A and B are shown apart, each in its own frame.
Chain A
Amino acid sequence: MNVQIKEIFEKVKSENRKALLEHEAKEILRLLDLPLPPSKLVKTEEEAIMAFNEFNGPVAMKVMSPQVLHKTDEQAVKIGIATIEEVKKTFNDYMNRFAEREVVGILVEKMVEKGVELIIGSQIDKTFGPVILVGPGGIFVEALKDVVFRMCPCSKEQALSAIDEIKTQKLLNGFRGLAPVNREQLAEIMSKLSNLAWEYREYIGEMDINPLIANSNGIFPVDARIILK
């Protein structure tokens, strides 16, 4: 076990929280060497502007608060922020609207170029223990239900065969001008996450990496949710 990963879980537990905040979940993914978009957790307007300038391109800004778990529902996520003006406006809007809540910081994250939206997720099955799924992701994931399961831990080969069993193969092969999904890389990510779900099964109850965006530069986890047992 990785000491730093364990510390994150222990910290969340000691604070009596069920869910990791997005930046905590992403810190774990970073420790697994997954390719995350650059991001910074900021506390002031100046820091937000600095991060924006550093990333040199449009960013997303998200409220990190144990009291704001459904960020989209509460309009605590804004994407495609392209000017300093917008950064300031968004920062101040968050500060006003969430003044009464405990806010850990604002996550400023470089926007990932558009691509195919995928999901990788894990949960604990009563029969088979930790299992992991892969498939087309995004907001329609539960309607499409085009996911394939494997037991954790799963090897890269097992992950590859799961990817081959996804029904909507068209989406993976370069659909409507999008880059084809790099199956090898996706399989590697799935295998790493399955190891995480297996090794830390005493902590992790459910995990959603959705969307995971596959574009011509690679495959990037854009949102990550980890819920403790």
Chain B
Amino acid sequence: MIRMSNRIANFFNAKSFCVIGASTNLLKPGGVVAENFAKDFPGKLFLVNPRGGTHIFAGKEYTLYKSVLDIEEEIDAAIIIVPAKFAPQALEECGKKNIKNVIVTTGGFAEIGEEGVAIQNRMNDIMKTYNINIIGPNCLGLYSPVLGYDTMFLPVNKLKRPKPGNVSIFTQSGAFGAAFIDQLARLGSGNWIARFISYGNASDINEADCIEYLGDDEDTKMILVYLEDFKNGRKFMETLREVSLKKPVLGIKANRTEAGAKAGASHTAALSSDDAIVDDLLKEAGFQRVITWDELEDCVISFATQPLPKGNRVAIVTDGGGAGVMASDMVSDCKLQLAKFSPEIQKKLDETFPVYYSTTNPIDITGSANAKDYEKALEAVYEDPEVDAVVNICIPSIPNLDINEYIEITRKIASRKEKTFVTALIGGEEADYAYDVLLKEDFAVFKSPGSAIRAVGRLVEYANYLKKRGKNL
């Protein structure tokens, strides 16, 4: 498909950037953004503040222009970060200055009612007159640590920034975006973000532009989404259908009410609740829909770190019978299958372990286990061609288990990345300790057998989708 160069790319690729409303107070949004760009943006930076004069940002002195019209150089992109009532004038000046890409983070537009709608309509007219691409209003704008691009106006000591990685996010809600960015900054190594797009009221650029841009973006290996509604639903679904064949797309589509269905003349109308339709269309387009916020982190840690399983056959290794039973239940809930070990591997397991260990799947190396037993069992099933994913469950409170040795063994096998490998640590202090150590290194580690297997289930679901659509894994 031939595409017009994506409009979001024009923002991220800007060689020069202007902050309109650059405050000298570093706690104010306009001050935060000016400081962010002064610190990290590799291109040319211009700052506009009606009071004029000069000010030092990130150790460098900048001229504060009274208007963008006073700047002689060309400007590729700008952010307007002034109160809503001054925004139309600022935008008009951008138009006159021939700035084609403008982020409007300020709130107080269509989302607040009639008065706001009037201002947003004026903005829309100006946008059309000057042919400007707009992100926003009422949003956080864009963030890309690798590009030194950060319009998130919350101070860095309050909203922590994740470091460069290969996950990209686009979100309709700025608050969701801020919270999740903050979460990712402290998840594992914190190396997660390729691009972040918060597009707010979507007066111009919307979810369809976002999925298209991130689908083509080479830094992006997985896409995380938060949506409440669609501005261009058909195009979004059609683009999503192509993009999900290249990289996993998952996230939340909130607003799951029964609204939309109407008692009508036809059964079809009565069955057509908004979410019934959305849910089916998202699934058909390859979207992994997550319902609760807490599962999102699990998805990041599994999709961003794990190879996709070739099939749905799971091997479980545990030192607790109960954990093994619960894990097995979850295996069937998630439409997975307990692997039947190949004869050689089964023989090896039988010969390795004492008779009171249960050597069939789920393997229970019991409370007598030590870390070496984990190593033998995990390595054996990892080698088995009949196994697509390995679930390593540990309750560390058993007497012979040295937790550091267990961590070392898990680290060694998990680093191979030839198969999906997830770990669940259950218990108190020692479990938390091992969990923290392994998570810091971005291994797929969870706090319950259920979450670990659910993560495998998600990966298998996506792998199955790709297979159905004719992709080789």
Please report A residues at the B interface, Cβ cutoff 8 Å.
Answer: 19, 69, 119, 121-123, 125-129, 131, 133, 137, 141-142, 145, 147-151, 158, 161-162, 165, 206-208, 210, 225, 227
Q: Confirm or deny: B283 has a beta carbon within 8 angstroms of a beta carbon on chain A.
A: yes
Question: Which 7 pairs, one residue from A and one from B, show the smallest C-beta to C-beta distance?
Answer: A121-B268, A149-B280, A127-B233, A206-B266, A208-B266, A149-B277, A128-B233
Contacts of A123 in B (CB 8 A): 264, 266, 268-269, 272
Q: Digit string of B255-277 for contact with A (CB within 8 Å is 1, else 0)?
A: 00000100011111111101011
Known pairs A127-B233, A131-B272, A141-B271; A162 contacts B266 (CB<8 A): no
Residues from chain B with Cβ under 8 Å of A69 in the complex: 265
B468 at the interface (CB under 8 A from A): yes
Hey, which chain A residues are within 8 Å of B284, CB to CB? 150, 158, 161-162
Complex contact A128–B281 (CB within 8 A) = yes
Selected from A121, A128, A145, A149, the residue in CB contact (under 8 A) with B234 is: A128
B237 in the interface (beta carbon within 8 A): yes
Name B residues whose Cβ lies closer than 8 Å to a Cβ of A: 229-230, 233-234, 237, 260, 264-272, 274, 276-278, 280-281, 283-284, 468
Residues of A within 8 A of B271 (CB): 121, 133, 141-142, 145, 147
Report how far A69 CA is from B468 CA in the complex, Å. Answer: 43
Contact of A127 among B264, B265, B274, B283 (CB under 8 A): B274
Q: Do B268 and A127 have beta carbons less than 8 Å apart?
A: no
- CA of A162 to CA of B283, assembled, Å: 10
B233 with A142: CB separation less than 8 A? no
Nearest chain-B residue to A119 (Cβ)? Answer: B267
* A210 nearest in chain B by CB position: B267
CB distance from B231 to the nearest CB of A (A): 9
CA distance A19 to B267 in the complex (A): 14
- Contact in complex: B265, A125 (CB < 8 Å): no
A83 vs B388: C-alpha distance when bound (angstroms): 64
Which B-chain residue is minimally distant from A137 (CB atoms)? B267
Among candidates B267, B270, B277, residue contacting A131 with C-beta atoms closer than 8 Å: B277
7 A-B pairs whose Cβ atoms sit less than 8 Å apart in the complex: A69-B265, A119-B267, A125-B274, A128-B230, A141-B267, A142-B271, A162-B284
Given A127-B229, A127-B233, A149-B276: A207 in contact with B268 (beta carbons within 8 A)? yes
B264→A206 contact, CB < 8 A: yes
Question: Could you list 19 further interchain pairs (A-B, Cβ under 8 angstroms) beyond the known A121-B267, A127-B274, A147-B276?
Answer: A19-B265, A121-B268, A123-B268, A125-B272, A126-B260, A127-B229, A131-B272, A131-B277, A142-B270, A145-B271, A149-B276, A149-B280, A149-B281, A150-B281, A161-B284, A161-B468, A207-B268, A208-B267, A225-B266
Main SS at interface, chain A = strand
Interface SS of chain B: helix, strand, loop or mixed? helix
| Contact with B269, one of A19, A148, A206 (Cβ below 8 angstroms) | A206
Most buried by B among A122, A147, A158: A147
| Contact across chains for B234 and A151 when beta carbons are under 8 A apart | yes
Q: What A residues does B277 contact at CB under 8 A?
A: 125, 127-128, 131, 149
Point out the residues of chain A lying under 8 angstroms from B270, CB to CB: 142
> Using Cβ atoms and an 8 Å threshold, which residues of chain A touch B264?
123, 206
Tell whether, in the assembled complex, residue A122 and residue B280 are in contact, meaning their CB atoms are under 8 Å apart: no
Bound-complex Cα distance A225 to B265 (A) = 9
Chain A residue numbers with a CB within 8 Å of B237 are 128, 151
> Which B-chain residue is minimally distant from A208 (CB atoms)?
B266
Q: Which residue of A lies closest to B283 (CB)?
A: A165
The distance from the CB of B321 to the nearest CB of chain A, in whole angstroms, is 33
Closest to A144 in B: B271
Give the docked Cα–Cα distance between A122 and B277 (Å): 12
CA of A69 to CA of B260, assembled, Å: 24
CB neighbours of A122 from chain B (8 A): 268
Task: Give complex CA distance A208, B230 in Å.
Answer: 26
CB-nearest residue of chain A to B278: A127
- Across the interface, which residues of A come within 8 angstroms of B274, CB to CB? 125, 127
Q: In whole angstroms, how far apart are the Cα atoms of A207 and B264 in the complex? A: 11
**CA gap between A158 and B264 in the complex, in Å:** 27
> Which one of A162, A210, A227 contacts B265 once the chains associate, using CB atoms below 8 Å?
A227
B280 contact set on A, CB distance < 8 A: 148-150, 162, 165
Question: In the bound complex, how far is the Cα of B272 from the Cα of A96, in angstroms?
Answer: 39
Contact A121 B229 (CB under 8 A): no
Least CB separation from A138: chain B residue? B267
Contacts A142-B271, A149-B280, A150-B280; is A227 near B234 (CB within 8 Å)?
no
Task: Write the chain B residue with the least CB distance to A148.
Answer: B280
The docked-state distance in angstroms from the alpha carbon of A161 to that of B469 is: 10
Q: Which residues of A contact B276 (CB under 8 A)?
A: 145, 147, 149
CA distance A210 to B272 in the complex (A): 15
Select A227's contact among B233, B266, B281, beta carbons within 8 Å. B266
Q: Name the residue of chain B whose CB is nearest to the CB of A19.
A: B265
A133 to B277, CA, bound (A): 9
Chain B, residue nearest A158 (CB): B284
Output the nearest chain B residue to A206 by Cβ-Cβ distance: B266
